[in-house]
Amino acid sequence: MANRVSTYTSISSNSEKKDEPKKDMWSTLLDEAATGKQFPQKNLLVLGDTPASQKQFLELLSNHELRQSSGKLKGPIPDIANSFALGNTYYDVVEADQEQDTLARISAYLLSSPSPSFASLVQPLLTPETIPNTLVVILLNWSRPWMWLRELRQWILLLKKVIYSLSDESKMTLEEVLQSWKDRGRVGSSLALDGSPIPAQSGEGETALPIGQGEWDEGLGLPLCVVCQNTEKMDYLEKSESWKEEQFDLVLQYMRTVLLKHGASLIYTSPSIPSQLQNLVHSSLGIKSLSFKKDSLKPNTIDRDKILVPPNWDSWSKICVLREGFQTDKVSDGWTIDLDQDLPITPANGLVVASGAKPRSPTSDGGIEDKEDSTVVIFEDQIRDPSFDTQLLANQADDAATFEDTIDTQDFLGQQQKALDLLKQKAEAEGDESRRPKDEDSIGYLSRDTEITKKIGPVQINMGGIQADADDMLQRLKDRQSTKEPTSPTTDEAPEDKARDMEKIQAFFTGLISKKKAGT
């Protein structure tokens, strides 16, 4: 019994020793697998336009439809929760020829409202670690090109507000990124747009172009790309709003001059037209792709629906070549004036009226002041909003109507009827007075009608079968009355009665003459 030894303890201790290496082995394998799956993390800050347009931009950027139609991407396109405040999604950048080779993962943060209160949501996204791997994209839409500079100014001021609130370490990182971007992709530079070094033999004999006038005057420290979507709306502007090539060129000149001050790139896109959007965005994020080297970015300022202006390519001289008479220096200085102000708080009622009494939407400028020599004001005077012109005409018509005193239709017609009745009564009274002869003025009335008597001849009457001249008989009665001497009455008849009888006789003959003339 004394020699018996329990084996439980020894077996347990041995099993524990055997399990320890197994745990270490699995941990090592898991760590190695996780390390192997790691790939660069990039951030994309998408600002502006509507949530639906932001989703359209991401679908175009990630080639969702192309990959889905080829069978390499299955399932519906996931929804993006960007209707309120700051939205978020991601997608993987894969090599065109090898779907399994993931180049980078892009985390997209989307903000459609330029409210200053959202600055606190953007600030945590910019840290010393994320700033070198972040690209800012501002979306504009061809459905309202007259609002582009006003919307762009709002977003730039919001970004400046965020940058001012960053830590000192973050600001130093922004300065380093800014300096590196001033040479990236420039003709004769040693760095490509994606940040990779250019072989010495390819740039042999070339000298890096220096920074020209109006370039990088308002650098933000972050690469900036402006995407103008839905170029198919150009046809509507041309047909319905009578836009000419001059208007399209003028908009492009303004945009290029303004973006030159930020070292930004510009591209026009449409869902139905292939573009270089992927190459531009991915290379600006420093994503190195073999396909990008095969198909480098090609600037295009001629085709109005395929515009592409890479960073560090444009200049004042190139902008002026597009159309003569454009004042790049005035526009550039005016944009500096536009940005020389703080971002105000949007009014609570959502109604914004800038100087000049132009009504603006709550999402347009947030009540930012339009200063003298402002580029935004100059641009909107030349590229006018058609709806604003219609509203202005309607307001002018309303103002003109307020100066007129109007009455009810029935009251107006009643007043006119009374006036007509008075005029009718007056005309009838004057007509009766002129046509009716007085007894005591019968002889005078006849004398005024001598012209008529001469034309119709003497008036003949028949008395007891004897034809007599009425005018001659009247004249004889007058002569007899005037030559008869007054005598005392010898009968019962008074002189007044005789005179009255004479007047009746005269009136009788006068009536006969009048009737005869009327019958004639």
Residue 167 above 50 pLDDT? yes
What average pLDDT does this structure show over 504-510?
71
In a domain, 153, yes or no: yes
Beta strands in 326-380 (DSSP E): 352-354, 358-360
Residue 7 above 50 pLDDT? no
CA 59 → CA 37, 64, 79, 233, 398, distances in Å? 25, 5, 11, 19, 47
Regarding whether 459 and 424 lie in a shared domain, the answer is no
Torsions phi, psi of 111, nearest 5? Answer: -140, 120
In a domain, 157, yes or no: yes
> pLDDT per residue over 437-446, tens digit each?
555 444 444 4
pLDDT band at 15 (very low <50, low <70, confident <90, very high): very low
- pLDDT at site 362: 37
Regarding whether 326 and 421 lie in a shared domain, the answer is no
- pLDDT at site 148: 97
Please indicate whether residue 164 or residue 387 has the higher confidence score (pLDDT).
164
In a domain, 224, yes or no: yes
- pLDDT at site 200: 62
Please give the tally of structural domains in the chain. Answer: 3
Regarding whether 411 and 337 lie in a shared domain, the answer is no
Residue 409 above 70 pLDDT? yes
Nearest to 161 by CA among 103, 117, 212, 131: 117
H/E stretch holding 120: helix 119-122
H/E stretch holding 518: helix 495-519
H/E stretch holding 46: strand 41-47
- pTM for the whole thing? 0.66
d(CA 294, CA 196): 15
CA 249 → CA 319, 467, 509, distances in Å? 10, 107, 101
Regarding whether 453 and 304 lie in a shared domain, the answer is no
- pLDDT at site 332: 96
d(CA 47, CA 114): 8
In a domain, 461, yes or no: yes
Regarding whether 319 and 426 lie in a shared domain, the answer is no
CA angle 39, 41, 45 (to 5 degrees): 155
Regarding whether 228 and 126 lie in a shared domain, the answer is yes
Regarding whether 328 and 459 lie in a shared domain, the answer is no
d(CA 411, CA 327): 61
pLDDT band at 80 (very low <50, low <70, confident <90, very high): confident
- pLDDT at site 499: 64
Nearest to 211 by CA among 324, 336, 334, 311: 311
Using CA atoms in the order 138, 143, 147, 153, what is the torsion angle rounded to 10 degrees? Answer: 0
Please indicate whether residue 474 or residue 224 has the higher confidence score (pLDDT).
224
> pLDDT per residue over 286-308, tens digit each?
887 766 655 578 999 999 999 99
In a domain, 156, yes or no: yes
- pLDDT at site 367: 64
pLDDT band at 218 (very low <50, low <70, confident <90, very high): very high
Regarding whether 241 and 263 lie in a shared domain, the answer is yes
The parent domain of residue 511 ranges over 444-478+505-520
Residue 204 above 50 pLDDT? no
**Which range among 205-214, 374-383, 483-492 shows the weakest confidence by mean pLDDT?**
483-492
Residue 1 above 80 pLDDT? no
- pLDDT at site 360: 43
- pLDDT at site 233: 95
d(CA 36, CA 473): 149
Regarding whether 301 and 322 lie in a shared domain, the answer is yes
> pLDDT per residue over 326-372, tens digit each?
999 999 999 999 999 877 654 333 333 333 334 444 334 556 778 88
- pLDDT at site 483: 63
Look at the block and give the residue holding tokens 């600055």.
Answer: 119
- pLDDT at site 413: 82
d(CA 323, CA 295): 29
Regarding whether 267 and 244 lie in a shared domain, the answer is yes
Regarding whether 427 and 331 lie in a shared domain, the answer is no
Regarding whether 101 and 71 lie in a shared domain, the answer is yes
In a domain, 243, yes or no: yes
In a domain, 500, yes or no: no
Beta strands in 330-416 (DSSP E): 352-354, 358-360
- pLDDT at site 288: 79
The DSSP call for residue 467 is: E
What average pLDDT does this structure show over 170-180?
95
**Which range among 66-80, 115-129, 347-361, 411-425 shows the weakest confidence by mean pLDDT?**
347-361
Q: Radius of gyration of the chain from Cα atoms?
A: 51
In a domain, 377, yes or no: no
For 267, counting Cβ atoms within 10 Å of its Cβ (0-12 exposed, 13-18 middle, 19+ buried), the class is: buried
Cα four-point dihedral sign 362, 367, 373, 374: negative
Residue 120 above 80 pLDDT? yes
Please indicate whether residue 357 or residue 405 has the higher confidence score (pLDDT).
405
